[in-house]
Structure 1
Amino acid sequence: MSILKVVEDRPTPKSVYNWRIYLLAAVASFTSCMIGYDSAFIGTTLALDSFKKEFHFDTMSSSSQNLINSNIVSLYQAGAFFGALFAYPVGHFWGRRIGLLTSAVVFLLGAGIMLGANGSRGIGLIYAGRVLAGVGVGAGSNITPIYISELAPPAIRGRLVGVYELGWQLGGLVGFWINYGVSETLPATHEQWIIPFAVQLIPAGLLLIGAVFLRESPRWLFSRGHRDKAIANLCWIRQLAENDIYVLEEIAAIDQALEEQRSTIGTGFWKPFKAAGTNKRVMWRLFLGSMLFFWQNGSGINAINYYSVTVFKSIGITGTNTGLLTTGIFGVVKTVFTFVWLLYLIDRVGRRNLLLIGAAGGSVCLWIVGAYIKIAQPVEHPKDHLESGGIAAVFFFYLWTVFYTPTWNGTPWVLNSEMFDSNMRSLAQAFAAASNWLWNFLVSRFTPQMFATMDYGVYFFFASLMICSIFFVFFLIPETKGIPLESMDRLFATKPIWRAHAHVVATLREDEEQFRQDVMESNLAERKLGLEQIEDTAVQQPKSS
């Protein structure tokens, strides 16, 4: 079986899986490159001696340094929280394309402000720029998964939304390695630490350049009443004619879904807010989406992303450059397994199974790492090299990365992008993205204090949360792979949850066969009517003499 083979919910023309759909997903995913780079580079930049020297860290106590570091990191998440919420009206009124461009412009302004910081001006410009950059990436984290999921054919929707996660990891890979590069090649001066800040401008600039290729989401255009433009965009993206059976089926499904939404949730800016507060079905799914990001952050990933040098130091790895190198390898492992997740796992193994496997395997690894730190106490007994126990702890840390990356790293984003009605999708994604950044903020804000007071207990804490997430996923999250967006209500209404996917897939196949039979009968009826009209015309014509 080919690694790129897809499992389809219905017969699909090969032209649907064309270069245009992948190009649109790739361009939109420059937003996640912004997020990934910004998440990865900041922790290792704060560990550079040149940064500490510029802002006089040597005159501060350890608690003051931890406070500044956590403020720099967490202000970004605070901005992202509000950015995810602000993106809802932008995406609703002006569309997904304008929303993506707005996020890039705001991020560029924030990144530019940070470049003005130095020892004489103080750290205030970094604070301000981090908040503004956070607003930009928060908006992007809301709109990008929605945009891609609305374009994607069901069979490769997970893969295409996974491109968003891939962009995150590629940005993170650069972010993890850049500080190792500047620390090895440049003297400890202002230029050494400002270069990683300046690189932030690149992915946002690429998004602005690539915007010329973006087409507005057909589903958004249908919801706003721009039917002709929606059909034109859909045909361009699918590379099919307007009268193709696949396009007719997709348009019919979108129309049916919109009609159902008008009769239940309703259309308009405020209707989703009303549904979020009164409709139990919507409230339940909003809760599930938010909790997925709670469990994702409960794995400890963002504690590692933002404070990777601190994490490796707790295992016993000493020296700034050695910590940066080990962090860089961590970024490589994440990126490699993101490719595995994207190309094979997400649309084969499915969302639900990945979350269960990742939580179980990752928890075991963190228990082992925590147990080693408790027994060996490497910080209290530092050595100039890792002994066998330390090497084993590092191995299990990387094994945790292998379990986490192709499971919990991107799968919650895929699920949240596809489990809501189109009229609820923008608000729901804003809510889910804001939840992600809220949990992200709490973890990044208090991680230095957790390591200072809990020591090995930090690993046991995150390992325990990963165990709890297994029960949450098994009993509450259905499998969504291959299910059309317009059939998510049917999926979540089917019980028990762990059998819902098979039941809905079987029902969809029956519906598809009935639709095609109806089309064939309609075509036969039209042909019969045409033949009768021809015969009537022939009978009515006078005979020639």
Structure 2
Amino acid sequence: MRLREAWDQGSSATIPSLPGFDKQFHVSSGSDAEAISTYVSIIYIGYAVGAALSFFVNDRIGRRWSYRLYSLVFIIGQMITVGAPNMGALYASRIITGMGIGSLSVSGPMSIVEISPKEIRGLLTAMYTVSMGLALTVANFCVLGIHRNVPSTNLQYQIPAFSVAIFMALCISASFLISESPRWLMMVGRKEEAVQALVDLRRMPADHHRIVAEVQDIETSLILDWGDIHGNSSLWLVAKETFTVPSNLRRLQQVLVAYALAQLSGANSVTSYFIPIMSILGDTGGTERHMFLSGMYGFSKLIFSLISAFFFIDILGRRKSLFIGITAQMISHIYLGVYIKFEQSGPVPNGASTFAIVALFIHAFGYAVGLFILPYVFGGELWPNRIRSFGGAVGATCHWLFIYAIKYAFPEILSSMNNWGAFIFFAGWCFLGLLYTYFIVPEVAGLTVEEIDMIFQGPWYNAFRRTKRGSVINGLEEGSMHDIEKEIKK
């Protein structure tokens, strides 16, 4: 699901450098951040709209049919891109495409969390973002191949749009071979199908103690949420619970801050404006070199995301992963800011120039380990069953609005801060992110979705003391388990 967003990020960073695109849509230069800012950023308006509207669909038609519907919207947007006669039509196509991607950004992590065993929930949710590194790489090298081998016609930008639409059609077909979410099936009163889905997912018999325990956990959670095994709530009741229950407000705060920090750390801006940034760093290697490095940047995200998924998220835990990732981003930003400042004053050593490019890849490592994967993990795993769809929709909507604001403003941030100041600005936000992680973010690795409910009880200022299962299961920090359950029922 994440592949669609990543494909767009990768292709939108390089397609404006294609002569056929520039000729058709009268773009002055793909290396000019201001010239391509609207093209790059306007899709995120569609992302936000799609994410917001997904709440009205996800719980009504299920995770699989939601996936098919959103994928179809994405395909329609891409087909409009293929036939766009002018920039206005291209902008409209990007908003429609964004609506499909934005909706998928809610249902994707939510679905993975709902089907994942607790021991590898972080790993499996991380796979959602690992696909972004794969898509970034494929998209960038696809555009590079087009630049080299396809004449300067409309086909240069039409091929990437049509190719990903074909892939999405295949994904819709493949979705008929996957299982529905057991938790959603239980929510709508289809218990037998839910048990069968768990049997299919876990490859265990229905009477296995693991299956029996998981079904009981889901049922208990739904009873605590609704007072019975299944039921429906109005938007007003779900919104009221989300915004008035203190523990849910803490969840919302953590999800929104994580999404905001991901953008204020400058990571997505580096991805989408990679070629203009290479020009700012003084690299004069030409369009093909910049496209190649952009492709390698996407490939590095793929490798770093795989490393993060297997060795960081569940093994080291969420908090340590955030510390390592944000620190790496901050150091790379500081180096880039200092380098650009000195480069503007006169010649710099070749080694310093080379390391400036290396710093971009260190930044990619830090982002992959921390703020790339974990906001999506938080956005899917922190919510109670009753409000997971709504909470995910609110979080993703704000996420895409954050991205739109930062990406649209990035050229202005560069110019107003004389280029180098922008990277120091992002480094400052990384430092604030470290403080936030230490004081606010609790460790939830290894907890079931139902156990996570309990860790958000109590004051926010000592959340960093509530780590893993001990304080949750024993209920020692905020009172007895009885008090915690009473609070959940409220």
Q: Are the counterparts in 2 of residues 90 and 98 from structure 1 also a CA contact under 8 Å?
A: no
Q: Are the counterparts in 2 of residues 33 and 203 from structure 1 also a CA contact under 8 Å?
A: no
Partner of 1:408: 371
Partner of 1:110: 77
Partner of 2:406: 443
Query: Which aligned pairs between 1:304-323 and structure 2 lie closer than 5 A?
Result: 304-318=270-284, 319-323=286-290
Correspondent of 1:76 among 32, 37, 43: 43
Distance, in Å, in 2 between the alignment partners of 1:169 and 1:354 is: 18
Which string of whole-angstrom CA distances, capped at 9 and with x for unpartnered residues, describes residues 424-457 of structure 1? 1101111111111011101111112222332111
Mean Cα deviation higher: 329-338 or 100-109: 329-338
Is 1:97 paired with 2:64? Answer: yes
Which string of whole-angstrom CA distances, capped at 9 and with x for unpartnered residues, describes residues 395-430 of structure 1? 222112222212211111112211110111101111
Partner of 1:281: 247
Is 1:269 paired with 2:246? Answer: no
Distance, in Å, in 2 between the alignment partners of 1:191 and 1:291 is: 41
Distance, in Å, in 1 between the alignment partners of 2:193 and 2:471 is: 31
Query: Which aligned pairs between 1:477-496 and structure 2 lie closer than 5 A?
Result: 477-493=441-457, 496=462
Correspondent of 1:123 among 87, 92, 104: 87
Distance, in Å, in 2 between the alignment partners of 1:57 and 1:411 is: 36
The amino acid that maps onto 2:375 is P
Is 1:399 paired with 2:362? Answer: yes
Correspondent of 2:104 among 137, 140, 143: 140
The amino acid that maps onto 2:376 is W
Residue identity over aligned pairs, in percent, reads 26
Extract unaligned runs of 5+ from structure 2. 477-490
Provide TM-score, normalisation by structure 1: 0.82
Is 1:55 paired with 2:25? Answer: yes
Distance, in Å, in 2 between the alignment partners of 1:82 and 1:138 is: 7
Correspondent of 1:417 among 380, 390, 394: 380
Extract unaligned runs of 5+ from structure 1. 1-30, 511-545
Deviation at 1:107, TM superposition (A): 0.2
Deviation at 1:506, TM superposition (A): 7.4
Which string of whole-angstrom CA distances, capped at 9 and with x for unpartnered residues, describes residues 193-247 of structure 1? 3222322214422321211112211101111111122122122222222222111
Rg (Cα) greater in structure: 1
Mean Cα deviation higher: 309-318 or 485-494: 485-494
Distance, in Å, in 1 between the alignment partners of 2:20 and 2:414 is: 24
Mean Cα deviation higher: 81-90 or 268-277: 268-277
Q: Are the counterparts in 1 of residues 40 and 407 from structure 2 also a CA contact under 8 Å?
A: yes
Distance, in Å, in 2 between the alignment partners of 1:503 and 1:54 is: 58
Distance, in Å, in 1 between the alignment partners of 2:356 and 2:26 is: 34
Q: Are the counterparts in 1 of residues 445 and 468 from structure 2 also a CA contact under 8 Å?
A: no
Distance, in Å, in 1 between the alignment partners of 2:105 and 2:170 is: 17
Quick one: structure 1 residues 346 and 202, their matched pair in 2 at CA, closer, same or farther if it must change by over 3 Å?
farther
Query: Which aligned pairs between 1:359-398 and structure 2 lie closer than 5 A?
Result: 359-377=326-344, 387-398=350-361
Q: Are the counterparts in 1 of residues 439 and 463 from structure 2 also a CA contact under 8 Å?
A: yes
Partner of 1:251: 215
Partner of 1:45: 15
Deviation at 1:494, TM superposition (A): 5.8
Deviation at 1:66, TM superposition (A): 5.6
> Secondary structure in 1 aligned to 2:283?
coil
The amino acid that maps onto 2:242 is A
Pairs aligned (count): 470
Deviation at 1:334, TM superposition (A): 0.8
List, as ranges, runs of 4+ consecutive aligned residues in structure 1 with deviation greater than 3 Å. Answer: 65-68, 263-267, 502-506
Quick one: structure 1 residues 315 and 163, their matched pair in 2 at CA, closer, same or farther if it must change by over 3 Å?
same
Quick one: structure 1 residues 241 and 213, their matched pair in 2 at CA, closer, same or farther if it must change by over 3 Å?
same
> Secondary structure in 1 aligned to 2:456?
helix
Partner of 1:87: 54
Distance, in Å, in 2 between the alignment partners of 1:202 and 1:387 is: 44
Distance, in Å, in 2 between the alignment partners of 1:84 and 1:458 is: 29
The amino acid that maps onto 1:75 is I
Partner of 2:484: none
> Secondary structure in 1 aligned to 2:466?
helix
Distance, in Å, in 2 between the alignment partners of 1:67 and 1:506 is: 50
Is 1:470 paired with 2:440? Answer: no
The amino acid that maps onto 1:418 is E
Alpha carbon RMSD of aligned pairs, Å?
2.4
Mean Cα deviation higher: 421-430 or 121-130: 121-130
